[in-house]
Amino acid sequence: MSVPLRPPVPLLAALFLALALLLTGCTSGPAPAKAPVGAPGQGAAGSESDAASVRRASPEPEPTPAEIPGLGPETRAEIPEEARQAFVVTGEGEDANRSSAVLYAREDPAEGWVAVTGPWDAHNGMKGWTDHHVAGDLRSPTGVYTLTDAGGRLPDPGALLPYDEHPRFAVDGVGFFGEPLEGSFDYVVAINYNRTEGVTPLDRTRPLGLERGGGIWIHVDHGGPTQGCVSIPEERMEELLRTLDPAMNPVIVMGDAESLGR
């Protein structure tokens, strides 16, 4: 009968050590460090999320060029693109003969229109305003019209528009309220309603026909309503003549407030 051999003591010690390692595994080592909150790639609090928020931010809106107050889209559309001066005459009502006037300019199209003079007191036609002016209706025509020619009985005060000094601008008589008309045409600017541009305001050519009236001017105020013109005080006429610049393609925008707001 044979006796089984026992393994040497050193071999037994090695076997016990291996068994102990298998039972404990890696838990006996230090736990892995947690990524700090806000580290890259860690969701809403991380830097990648911050970058996405910047990408989603809306850009600052571009400033809108300033428009002339009181003018609606239809009226604004009538102002020529090349016009950089606009003399805006706003009536108190469709049947009113009092109005106010402001001169606007747009030196920089990106900034839009800026008021440069006014408001000034003004008069218009005795019976107010109309979209369809005819001779003798005592109403001023509404709309947008170019301004290209000036003149008057008095010498040129420094007008930038072509100026026709002529004695035929003399006028006498009285107005609707008995006020004297003398001096009303000392200075005038022709409104290009039913007239030929580039000639003296005294020219009587009427492209639309005589029945549609004509001779619609900006002239010196005589203290009462007109037959269809726009009138402002004499010192304002002088200022207007020295300011309206043909290089800026000036226009007049005229009518009662409701009409201009269309």
Whole-prediction pTM value?
0.77
Handedness of CA 110, 116, 119, 124 (dihedral sign): negative
DSSP state for residue 248 in the 8-state scheme? G
- What distance in Å separates the CA atoms of residue 150 and residue 158, rounded to the nearest whole number? 11
- What distance in Å separates the CA atoms of residue 230 and residue 101, rounded to the nearest whole number? 9
Give the pLDDT score at 152: 98
78, 143 contact by CB (below 8 A):
yes
Give the pLDDT score at 146: 98
- Positions in the chain whose pLDDT score sits under 50: 1-48, 51, 54
